[in-house]
């Protein structure tokens, strides 16, 4: 495929607010996971973002107020991202910049709160509950476009935990077909009762901070986060001076194995197809990849499946790790948060080893890192796999 550039980027998660904070957390190996105290629940550890409750949306956009849109707004205000989009809009025109975002639950917390406050006699929800501006899956791109004053097309991708990774694929189509000149791509997912209790009911939540790839891993830690990237054609404008190039988007692979509603194919066949397709679109060989950011949720089945798939495609030489020990599993936002981690890896040559690991699973064949490694790399793969057998692999390259 024709390479595209990420000319601006931002992210917020439990690991920190903004790229510099995320970089510092990776370098110091400081996890953002804490014992769960959200909504009175005690379900293992969570990756909770500080300050969401106190954050206020602009008065003109108050109808969109919900935890998910607050997270998105907090991210938009970081790393000079909104200013970079404004510069791009002045060059292309606001109507030529689209928004493609991923989310798995959107503002469902608002609906949960409304249901808890419903009228016991009539069943009516509170009069101030605005479903279309909060819970609705289309709320997020509408909010982002309004906050950035953009007039291009909008799309929500709700594809489980691969949502914001899959958003890059749709954004690329829009640019390639000429529908847009640039796209704000990313996503947000926030803590809510449904995901915390739902994953706990499946027996997938670890009692302590998640330990991806560990021999004694016990499950996931749910996190929340948001992030965005400005994607545009390489050389279309002087992006290096206008906003700086974070990374180049070189290839993608997507598949759906449909093995089970909530369990991955243990042979990792769909995951392997996605990784191989990403390599082919990027015109790269397996040995060209310097680091793989694993989906690595910390569950027994997911991590074993991904190891099988990675070993099938890459063998045992390419270093890989999961960074969910820093952020928790941010669900539909994990793709964009980990895209920003990929950009840090490419810029800094910092390969982050898995956190909280005592001993890498001895059955694994891939080269999983359990400590940080300093190494310059030119190409990074980022994996995201979700319920229903959805798989997405992205490849990013260093800025020229």
161 is catalytic: yes
Separation of alpha carbons 151 and 143, rounded Å:
12
Q: Which of 66, 161, 180, 192 is catalytic?
A: 161
Between CA 263 and CA 203 the distance in angstroms is 12
List all residues 6 or more positions away from 285 whose beta carbon is below 8 Å from its beta carbon. 279
Integer Cα distance of 139 and 154 in angstroms: 10
| Torsion on CA atoms 277, 169, 13, 99, rounded to nearest 10 | 170
Q: What's the rounded Cα separation, in Å, for the pair 384 and 324?
A: 12
Residue 295 designated active-site: yes
Question: What sign does the CA torsion over 354, 378, 173, 337 have?
Answer: positive
185 near 168, Cβ under 8 Å? yes
Report the distance separating Cα 243 and Cα 154, nearest Å: 23
Kindly report the three-state secondary structure assignment for every residue of 227-252: EEEEEEECCCCCHHHHCCCCEEEEEE
CA 60 to chain centre: 28
Reading the block at residue 271, the tokens are 């995951």
Active-site entry in 66, 133, 295, 392: 295
Q: What is the radius of gyration, based on Cα positions, of the chain?
A: 20
Do 252 and 164 touch, CB atoms closer than 8 A?
A: no
Do 266 and 301 meet the contact criterion of CB atoms below 8 Å apart? yes
Q: Cα dist. 118→41, 121, 124, 127 in Å?
A: 21, 9, 6, 10
Q: Report DSSP state, residue 115.
A: H
Set 66, 329, 354, 392: catalytic member = 329
The CB-side HSE value for 66 (13 A sphere, CA atoms) comes to: 32
* CB crowding 178-189: b at 16 or more within 10 Å, else e: eebbbbbbbbbb
Give the separation between CA 119 and CA 116, rounded to whole angstroms: 9
Return the DSSP state at 369. -
Active site residue 329: yes
> What are the catalytic residues?
161, 295, 329
């Amino acid at each position: 495929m024709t390479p595209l550039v990420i000319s601006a980027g931002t992210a917020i998660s439990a690991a920190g607010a903004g790229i510099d904070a995320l970089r510092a957390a990776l370098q110091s190996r400081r996890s953002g996971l804490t014992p769960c105290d959200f909504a009175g629940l005690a379900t293992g550890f969570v990756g909770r973002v500080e300050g969401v409750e106190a954050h206020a949306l602009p008065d003109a956009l108050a109808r969109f107020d919900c935890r998910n849109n607050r997270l998105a707004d907090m991210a938009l205000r970081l790393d000079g991202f909104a200013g970079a989009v404004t510069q791009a809009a002045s060059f292309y025109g606001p109507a030529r910049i689209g928004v493609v975002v991923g989310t798995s639950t959107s503002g469902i917390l608002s609906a949960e709160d409304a249901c808890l406050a419903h009228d016991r006699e009539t069943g009516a929800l509170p009069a101030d509950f605005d479903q279309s501006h909060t819970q609705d899956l289309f709320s997020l791109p509408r909010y982002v476009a309004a906050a950035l004053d953009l007039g291009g097309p909008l799309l929500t991708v709700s594809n489980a935990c691969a949502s914001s990774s899959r958003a890059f694929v749709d954004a690329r189509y829009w640019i390639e077909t000429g529908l847009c000149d640039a796209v704000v791509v990313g996503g947000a997912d926030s803590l809510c009762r449904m995901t915390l209790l739902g994953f706990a009911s499946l027996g997938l939540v670890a009692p302590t901070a998640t330990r991806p790839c560990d021999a004694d891993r016990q499950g996931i830690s749910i996190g929340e986060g948001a992030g965005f990237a400005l994607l545009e054609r390489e050389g279309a404008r002087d992006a290096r001076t206008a906003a700086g190039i974070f990374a180049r988007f070189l290839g993608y692979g997507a598949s759906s194995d449909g093995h089970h509603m909530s369990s991955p194919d243990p042979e990792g066949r769909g995951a392997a197809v996605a990784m191989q397709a990403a390599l082919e679109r990027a015109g790269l060989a397996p040995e060209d990849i310097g680091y793989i950011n694993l989906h690595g949720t910390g569950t027994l089945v997911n991590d074993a499946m991904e190891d099988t798939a990675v070993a099938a495609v890459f063998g045992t030489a390419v270093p890989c790790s999961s960074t969910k020990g820093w952020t928790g599993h941010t669900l539909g936002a994990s793709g964009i948060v980990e895209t920003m981690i990929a950009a840090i890896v490419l810029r800094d040559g910092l390969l982050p080893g898995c956190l909280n690991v005592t001993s890498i699973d001895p059955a694994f064949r891939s080269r999983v890192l359990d400590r940080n490694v300093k190494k310059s790399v030119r190409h990074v793969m980022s994996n995201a796999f979700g319920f229903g057998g959805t798989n997405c692999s992205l490849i990013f390259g260093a800025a020229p």
